[in-house]
Amino acid sequence: MNDIDDCLRSALGAGVDPAGTPWAELDPPLLHERRTSIKWARHGADVLPLFVAEMDFTVAPQVRRAITRAVDNSDLGYVNSPGALPEVFAAFAEDRWGWSPAHQHVHLATDVATGVVEALRVLCPAGGRLVLPVPTYPGFFEMLQELPFEVAQVPLHEPADSQLTALDLTAIEREFAGGARTMILCNPHNPHGVPFTRDELTALAELAATYDVCVLSDEIHAPLTHHDAVFTPFAPLAAAAGALSATVTSASKGWNIAGAKCSVIVAADERANEVLQHLPPEVITRVSLLGLHANIAAFGEAQEWRDRAITQVEANQRLFASLLAEHLPQVQWRPGQAGYLAWLDFRETG
């Protein structure tokens, strides 16, 4: 039996998760008893907590060992530096995506949300009009309440056929021409699960350079790009076009360690890096040292776990598609190519 068959069995309640934990041990009633995170503690056991983008797999053994080692050494103080994370992340990005960020361009932040806010503070201190493709992650609107921006919501292009959702570059250029000087890009997109194509990202980078727009790219879902899909980082395209840009990402989604509280802000080039040197020192010291160890282990050692997790997500997606077709045939859905979210269209249900 191959990995796909194993994962389909897991999706139906048999087999094991990516860490080898029997599926029966991840039954929702047991997770309600054993876990205290917001996903499992906010509501009662009669509610399936689908309001948070988290997986429930057992943590990767390499991440577990890194955290346990730090605890055994009583290494629980404040973070001093990024340690090995810039080197480890750059190696991961080169291996998976062909992107080789300079180690000195990698900065720490508490989590991706903090990274987005703090990077925008220094990259775009004047505020002004900010372009945000929608629908999108609701948390962006909460983050932007901390900053002096007027948000210009630009709907994504939703093709009538089976093609994937795309950026509406014409509408985005219209906003740039009208004075918007900042944009948040979510790539792969949340909630559609779409890794935007190289062609459209190249066009966006060229528009940003032409109109002097800073693009902040949230790439938290990139490590969960599906096996048959291609993820294109925005930073090297921005650097080639001469656009001011930075990327924020983390192991938090790909390895399901959001509570470990560590992310990276990566400058696209030296110009952006000079600006990011002005990040407040507290952005680093508020990072969890355990989270730093966890991210180093995830990006550096836990590739097999991540690959199996993606295979399981793909199997779950196929199962979900079959159940949707059987029970809710009027609901429309374009399966994504990254992550595990499903954006459903109920408009034909009446």
**pLDDT tens digits along 201-226:** 999 999 999 999 999 999 999 999 99
**From CA 73, how far away is CA 71, in angstroms rounded?**
5
Element (H, E) at 267: strand 263-267
Name the maximum alpha-carbon separation found in the chain.
Answer: 60
Nearest to 279 by CA among 123, 130, 82, 144: 123
Residue 256 lies in a domain: yes
Torsion of CA 323, 327, 331, 332, to 10 degrees: 30
Q: Which residue has the tokens 């029997």?
A: 22
Q: Residue 174 is part of a domain; what is its CATH number? A: 3.40.640.10
Q: Which residue has the tokens 């983050």?
A: 143
**What is the C-alpha to C-alpha distance for residues 289 and 70, in angstroms, rounded to an integer?**
9
Within a 10 A sphere around the Cβ of 33, how many other Cβ atoms?
A: 10
Q: Is residue 213 part of a domain?
A: yes
The per-residue pLDDT for 10 is: 62
Inter-residue contact 3 to 15 (CB < 8 Å): no
Within-domain flag for 204: yes
Q: 142: domain range?
A: 85-301
Separation of alpha carbons 8 and 1, rounded Å: 11
What is the average pLDDT across 17-31?
88
**Environment class of 265 (CB within 10 Å of its CB; exposed 0-12, middle 13-18, buried 19+):** buried
24 belongs to a structural domain? no
Q: What is the pLDDT of the chain when averaged over all its residues?
A: 94
Amino acid letter at 201? L
Which whole number is the average pLDDT over 332-342? 94
Considering the domain boundaries, does residue 222 fall inside one? Answer: yes
In a domain, 316, yes or no: no
Tell me, yes or no, whether 72 lies in a domain. Answer: no
Provide CB contacts within 8 A for 349, sequence distance 6+: 328, 330, 331
Determine the 3-state secondary structure of 197 from DSSP. Answer: coil
Residue 274 has pLDDT above 60, yes or no: yes
Average pLDDT in the 256-279 region? Answer: 98
> Looking at the 3D structure of the chain, how many domains does it have?
1
Quickly state the pLDDT bin for 9 (edges 50, 70, 90): low
pTM > 0.85: yes or no? yes
Find all residues with CB under 8 Å of 105, minimum gap 6, and list them: 86, 266, 267, 268, 269, 270, 272, 273, 276
Residue 27: predicted pLDDT:
85
CA distance 195 to 153: 20
- CA distance linking residue 295 with residue 186, whole number of Å: 21
- What residue type is 180 in one-letter code? A
Evaluated on CA atoms 153, 159, 163, 169, the torsion sign reads negative
180 vs 148, 155, 211, 215, 218, CA distance in Å? 13, 16, 9, 11, 19
189 within domain boundaries = yes
